[in-house]
């Protein structure tokens, strides 16, 4: 049995969303089981089923963030400056 990941998209502007996984012996049965396990109540009108082994998986080390507060600008500095009626120091 292979593991497959299932993605569904609802009608409209919603993006594809990961909804779960399943096990199946081949691609055809994976599609069949995915239909029966994840779309029984019309949860989506489009479905992607991907063999987990075909996914490109990033190295978690590359995703680890060092302390980079400047990438988390939440706009509060600018807001505070505006409220104080002053211009940013040049």
Partner 1 sequence: MTDSAPASTHSAHEAVLALADDELCIGQNLVWWIAVGPFLEEDLALTSISQDELGHARALYGLLGDDIDALAYGRQPHEYRSAHLTELPCRDWGETLVRHFLYDTAETVRWAALADSSWDALGAVARRALAEERSHLRHASGLLSWLLRTEAGRSQLLPLFDQFVPMACELFHLPPGCSQEALLADGVMDRSLSDQRAEWQSGVDGAVASAGYQPQWPADGAATASASGRAGQRSAHFAALHAEMVEVLSIDPTAVW
Question: Which residues are within 8 A (CB) of 4 and not within 5 positions of it... i.e. 6 or more apart?
Answer: 21, 22, 23, 24, 30, 34, 49, 50, 51, 52
Residues 53-82 that bind partner 1 (CB under 8 A): none
Q: Does 3 bind partner 1 (CB under 8 A)?
A: no
Applying CB under 8 A, the site for partner 1 has a residue count of 14
Residues 4-43 that bind partner 1 (CB under 8 A): 22-26, 28-29, 31-33, 35-37, 40
Question: Are residues 38 and 8 in contact, defined by beta-carbon separation less than 8 angstroms?
Answer: yes
- Residues that bind partner 1 in the complex, under the rule CB under 8 A: 22-26, 28-29, 31-33, 35-37, 40
């Amino acid at each position: 049995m292979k593991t497959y990941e299932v993605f569904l998209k609802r009608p409209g502007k919603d993006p594809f969303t990961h909804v779960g996984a399943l096990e199946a012996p081949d691609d055809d049965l994976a599609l069949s089981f995915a239909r029966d396990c994840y779309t029984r109540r019309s949860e989506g009108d489009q479905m992607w089923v991907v063999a987990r082994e075909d996914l490109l998986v990033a190295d978690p080390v590359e995703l680890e963030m060092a302390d980079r507060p400047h990438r988390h600008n939440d706009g509060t500095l600018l807001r505070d400056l505006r409220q104080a009626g002053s211009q940013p120091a040049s």
